[in-house]
């Protein structure tokens, strides 16, 4: 700071005030001269000073539930492709699906003076998000929603997506369909379970509730699901798994136990992975518009940041697509429960 003062021909106090972004007592011309000198000397102008001058730091926080999940990498790519060309830097943070981490990371992002946060929340309550917004942080929820919260929300139609998958399995003659899901705190897992219920109800079938298994949304969680479900049930004919990491765990556990997909068990996963199409058998899956989710969240953020008056929160819902491949086998249908073809 003394070097800058010497070079610029001003007092250290002036340099300190300018670099701290304080406007009082210094002319605009002097401030500019100090900043230029500081930059020439390689002094890193801190973001607070920058934000006080420009009102924006051009940095955005992206809080994700699990960066080990390829889903979130695709989402981050969509966000970056929109925000980078506009001059924004993106700081990512990982909650590991822990709600207490969400609170901590929202606070961190405020301390780091980001202009806004795009967040995938696993929470079922909104206190931490409402509090962050009350402190002036702009928040956009993506891939998750929280009831009764006035916040921009970009999601896929998880409920309809899950219903389509179960409906397809039922039409292939399956009834004892196990659902392997993550913790049911998060909105997406609640919605996917609701879609599972909807599909059975729509066909007038009883929901096989003993085949609902919830665990961590991880590879290990998927393996545990298979072990537990097969140990306790002899009637399962198909698995519906609500996320890609658990799907990998489920497939691995079935293969290692010597079962053949789809001869022994049919299988549908929520979320499509690149290796599914070259796997033997190719895996039937629900494709989510992951990249689009990220892009739309980022576009919404730009709109919010550029508006003089903040726009009213919107809820944007994207459709999923069921990709029929080879991991589902037809079963002979019991005559009285034969469902009619729909759509």
- CB within 8 Å of 336: residues ≥ 6 apart: none
**Interface residue with a second copy, options 2, 27, 28, 134 (CB under 8 A):** 134
**239 vs 226: CA distance, rounded Å:** 9
Site string for a second copy, 221-260 (x = CB under 8 A): ---------------------------x--xx--xx----
184 counts as binding a second copy under rule CB under 8 A: no
Q: Tell which residue, 264, 265, 209, 273, has the closest CA to residue 246.
A: 273
Q: In this chain, which stretch among 105-113, 141-149, 201-209, 235-243 interacts with a second copy, using CB under 8 A?
A: 105-113
Out of 39, 104, 210, 342, the residue judged to bind a second copy by CB under 8 A: 104
Taking CB under 8 A as the rule, does residue 338 contact a second copy? no
Contact pattern from residue 257 through residue 276 relative to a second copy, giving x for each residue in contact according to CB under 8 A and a dash for the rest: -----------------xx-
Q: Which is nearer to a second copy, 30 or 113 (CB)?
A: 113
The least distance separating a second copy from the CB of residue 209, rounded to whole angstroms, comes to 30
- Contact call for residue 308 and a second copy (CB under 8 A): no
The token duo for 310 is: 């903040």
Q: Which among 21-29, 166-174, 176-184, 209-217 is the span making contact with a second copy, rule CB under 8 A? A: 21-29
Q: Residue 79, CB half-sphere, CA atoms under 13 Å: how many?
A: 30
Q: What is the enclosing helix (H) or strand (E) of 151?
A: none
Q: How far, in Å, CA of 238 to CA of 262, rounded?
A: 9
103 forms part of the interface with a second copy (CB under 8 A): no
99 counts as binding a second copy under rule CB under 8 A: no
Single residue of 30, 53, 91, 233 touching a second copy by CB under 8 A = 91
The alpha-helical segments, DSSP class H, found in 26-69 are: 28-40, 47-54
If the CB atoms of residues 92 and 318 are measured against a second copy, the closer one turns out to be: 92
**Which of 39, 54, 135, 342 contacts a second copy by CB under 8 A?**
135
Token pair belonging to 149: 């919260």
Instruction: Give Cα separations from 92 to 75, 112, 285, 320 (angstroms).
Output: 12, 12, 28, 26
Residue number, 40 or 46, with CB nearest to a second copy: 46
**In the structure encoding, which two tokens stand for residue 4, read together?**
């800058």
Antiparallel, parallel or unpaired: β 266-270 and 284-287? parallel
Angle, nearest 10°, between helix axes 244-256 and 219-232?
A: 50
Q: How far is the CB of 290 from a second copy (least distance, A)?
A: 11
What distance in Å separates the CA atoms of residue 189 and residue 26, rounded to the nearest whole number? 56
Beta strand 59-64 pairing with 116-119: parallel
| Residue 289 touching a second copy (CB under 8 A) | no
| Residue 70 token pair | 């390829």
**Whether the Cβ atoms of residue 160 and residue 195 lie closer than 8 Å to each other:** yes
CB 80 within 8 A of CB 89: no
Judged by CB under 8 A, does residue 85 bind a second copy?
no
Q: Which stretch binds a second copy (CB under 8 A): 99-107, 119-127, 232-240, 324-332?
A: 99-107
Binding site for a second copy (CB under 8 A): 13, 16-17, 20-22, 24, 42, 44-48, 50, 57, 59, 67-68, 70, 73-74, 76-77, 80, 89-94, 96, 104-105, 107-108, 110-113, 131, 134-135, 219, 248, 251-252, 255-256, 274-275, 277-280
């Amino acid at each position: 700071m003394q070097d800058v003062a010497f070079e610029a021909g001003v007092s250290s106090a002036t340099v300190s005030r300018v670099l701290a972004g304080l406007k009082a007592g210094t002319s605009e011309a002097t401030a500019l001269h100090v900043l230029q000198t500081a930059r020439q000397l390689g002094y890193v102008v801190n973001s607070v000073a920058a934000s006080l001058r420009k009102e924006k730091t051009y940095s955005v926080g992206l809080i994700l539930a699990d960066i080990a999940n390829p889903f979130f990498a695709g989402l981050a790519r969509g966000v970056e492709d929109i925000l980078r060309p506009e001059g924004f830097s993106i700081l990512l943070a990982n909650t590991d699906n822990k709600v207490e981490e969400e609170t901590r990371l929202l606070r961190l992002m405020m301390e780091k003076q980001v202009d806004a946060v795009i967040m995938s929340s696993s929470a079922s309550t909104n206190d931490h998000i409402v509090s962050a917004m009350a402190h002036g942080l702009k928040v956009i929820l993506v891939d998750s929603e929280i009831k009764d919260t006035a916040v921009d929300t970009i999601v896929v139609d998880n409920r309809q997506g899950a219903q389509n998958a179960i409906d397809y399995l039922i039409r292939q003659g399956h009834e004892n369909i196990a659902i392997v899901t993550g913790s049911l705190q998060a909105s997406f897992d609640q919605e996917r379970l609701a879609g599972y219920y909807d599909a059975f109800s729509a066909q007038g079938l009883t929901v096989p509730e003993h085949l609902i298994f919830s665990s961590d949304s991880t590879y290990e969680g998927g393996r545990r699901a298979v072990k537990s479900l097969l140990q306790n049930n002899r009637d399962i004919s198909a698995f519906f798994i609500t996320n890609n990491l658990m799907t990998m765990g489920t497939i691995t556990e079935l293969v290692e136990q010597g079962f053949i997909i789809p001869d022994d068990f049919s299988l549908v996963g929520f979320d499509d992975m690149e290796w599914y199409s070259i796997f033997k058998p190719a895996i039937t899956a629900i494709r989510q518009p992951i990249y689009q989710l990220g892009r739309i969240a980022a576009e919404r953020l730009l709109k919010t940041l550029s508006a003089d008056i903040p726009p009213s929160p919107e809820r944007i819902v994207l459709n999923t697509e069921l990709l029929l491949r080879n991991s589902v086998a037809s079963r002979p249908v019991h005559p009285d429960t034969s469902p009619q073809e729909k759509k």
